[in-house]
Amino acid sequence: MTARSTPAAVAGLSDFTLDAAIIDAAHPDYPGLAATLREAAGARRLSVIAIGPGAAAVGDAAPAGVDIAMSSAPHPAQAALRIEQLVRAGIAEEEFRLRQATFAAHGATLTIDDADPTPLKILVAGAADQRFIALSNALTAGAAEVVAAPTPYTAFDYLHETAFDAAVLWGAPDHAPALSIAAGMKRNTRLYHIPLSLYLRTAGEIDLTDLYNRGFADVAAADTPEGETAERVLALARTHRRHQAIRKALEGARGSGLMDPSTGLFTRDLFAAHLARLAEGARSRRRPMSVCVLRVADSPALAHARAGGWLDRAMPQIGAMVSRLVRVEDTAARLAPEVFALALPATTGAAARLAAERIVAVIGCTAFDGGPEKSPFVVDFDLGCAEVEPGESPASVLERASADLSRRRLKAAEAANA
């Protein structure tokens, strides 16, 4: 919806379920309008993007209440992706509070230690030139520690040796090196969530939608000032570090005795308790929520691995991969020895299936030890998903997800026999 005045925007936030606002920086009430809109949004955290030449001084942080300030209108795919990122960051904060309540009800305490004093660490990869150096200097001026990698090989060396908060890939004319690095990072469970920015070197034609689908969090046009690009990268890095702090807090709960001891995931009972709290939160905020069930699929190779106990030996690693691949706001649980469940807040059924399929695809790229003189084996999953319906109980949606899993497995078997 579009609001031409501050009162109209406030009325819209009161009447509709809105997650984000885009403000024209030329509006006479800017930048104070951002705080006004956030207050009008109430319990739902409103993400705010300001667009226009006066959104923020070049190289400066966004004004108070503004998440991202951009001097020019972004590509539609970029705008959609950044809004989704901002909204999910707010949902992650809400989710952490819900988990605090769940753990407190079971006698455990969760706290976030996000007072990391070390500078943000940014990898800048690509052949150096004047603008490349200018961007590095702008990031350094923003109190970040910059590591430069001239080739994809050195970039991966650094990525495997050091923890980074974000990475900037310098776009060559054919973008092949940047795309190679991005593809490699998205196939690695440890590097999967590091935000990637592409800084275009030339103003040539490029399919931006394809770039965002490949996993880039931001793409800066060739004429974007280095200071603005640096601030956008730093904003991504700060959000990533905050998410890592939340992950660390949740991982710290493994020693509480409440989590599954071999995988570190939620146990069946803890997941059931938290799912009830999640469903209530979704209803009160008028957001969708979905549940997915992942069960190890049967195959001849897995039958040998299962009989020899090698699948059991691989399950802790598989569980750890699931925990690293889910988003911060998603809850992963181990319901049975070979069955996992995911609760995905603010996610429709179709989007939940897509997220689960990506997790399954990454795990499917990993070969596990099959024993002496046996070939390594890979693990595939049967997958079922269900979106919570109005008034539906958590137990019911979990049952529907399990039924969807069985139904899809039966259809696959019928297709194979046809």
pLDDT tens for 370-412 read: 888 888 999 999 999 999 998 899 899 999 999 988 676 656 5
**263 and 406 together in one domain:** yes
Cα separation, 399 vs 106, in Å, equals 24
The domain boundary, picked from 251, 269, 301, lies at: 251
Range of the domain at 377: 259-417
The CA distances from residue 380 to 29, 86, 296, 318, 353, in Å, are 54, 32, 6, 11, 15
Burial (CB count <10 Å: 0-12, 13-18, 19+), residue 140: middle
**224 and 265 together in one domain:** no
Cα separation, 56 vs 71, in Å, equals 8
pTM, 2 dp: 0.70
What does the pLDDT average to over 313-339? 91
Task: Determine the pLDDT at residue 173.
Answer: 66
**Which of 97-106, 207-216, 217-226, 356-365 has the weakest average pLDDT?**
207-216
**Which of 70-84, 149-163, 265-279, 290-304 has the weakest average pLDDT?**
70-84
Answer yes or no: is 208 within a domain.
yes
Cα separation, 418 vs 391, in Å, equals 40
Q: Determine contact, residues 50/62, Cβ cutoff 8 Å.
A: yes
pLDDT in tens, 171-197: 666 677 788 888 888 888 788 889 888
Answer yes or no: is 162 within a domain.
yes
**222 and 185 together in one domain:** yes
Answer yes or no: is 178 within a domain.
yes
**200 and 289 together in one domain:** no
Q: How many domains does the chain have?
A: 3
The domain boundary, picked from 11, 46, 73, lies at: 73
What is the percentage of the chain residues whose pLDDT exceeds 70?
90
- The domain spanning residue 318 has which CATH number? 3.30.70.270
Confidence of residue 59 (pLDDT cuts 50, 70, 90): very low
**267 and 393 together in one domain:** yes
CB-facing half-sphere around the CA of 290: CA atoms within 13 A: 19
Burial (CB count <10 Å: 0-12, 13-18, 19+), residue 283: middle
SS3 readout for 318-332: HHHHHHHHCCCCCEE
**232 and 270 together in one domain:** no
Q: Which residue has the higher pLDDT, 53 or 43?
A: 53
- The domain spanning residue 230 has which CATH number? 3.40.50.2300
Answer yes or no: is 87 within a domain.
no
- In 253-372, which residue ranges form alpha helices assigned H by DSSP? 268-285, 300-307, 310-325, 349-363
Q: Which residue has the higher pLDDT, 234 or 222?
A: 234
Question: pLDDT at residue 366 above 80?
Answer: yes
Task: Determine the pLDDT at residue 178.
Answer: 81
The domain boundary, picked from 38, 73, 108, lies at: 73
Task: Determine the pLDDT at residue 269.
Answer: 93
**265 and 343 together in one domain:** yes
Answer yes or no: is 101 within a domain.
no
Longest dimension (CA), the chain: 73
Q: Which of 412, 413, 389 lies closest to 400 in space, CA to CA?
A: 389
Confidence of residue 357 (pLDDT cuts 50, 70, 90): very high
**Which of 135-144, 235-244, 313-322 has the weakest average pLDDT?**
235-244
Per-residue tokens: 326? 């889910």
Answer yes or no: is 110 within a domain.
no
Cα separation, 194 vs 240, in Å, equals 7
**125 and 245 together in one domain:** yes
359: three-class secondary structure by DSSP: helix
Confidence of residue 415 (pLDDT cuts 50, 70, 90): low
Answer yes or no: is 99 within a domain.
no
Question: pLDDT at residue 24 above 50?
Answer: yes
**153 and 246 together in one domain:** yes
**141 and 221 together in one domain:** yes
Question: pLDDT at residue 361 above 60?
Answer: yes
Answer yes or no: is 168 within a domain.
yes
Question: pLDDT at residue 95 above 90?
Answer: no
Give the count of beta carbons closer than 10 Å to the beta carbon of residue 220.
23
**384 and 363 together in one domain:** yes
Confidence of residue 58 (pLDDT cuts 50, 70, 90): very low
Give the count of beta carbons closer than 10 Å to the beta carbon of residue 91.
24
pLDDT in tens, 249-293: 766 666 677 888 888 899 999 999 999 999 998 888 878 999 999
> Checking phi first, is residue 336 left (phi over 0); if not, alpha (psi -120 to 50) or beta?
beta
Question: pLDDT at residue 209 above 50?
Answer: yes
**324 and 413 together in one domain:** yes
| Angle, helices 268-285/394-417, rounded to nearest 10 degrees | 110
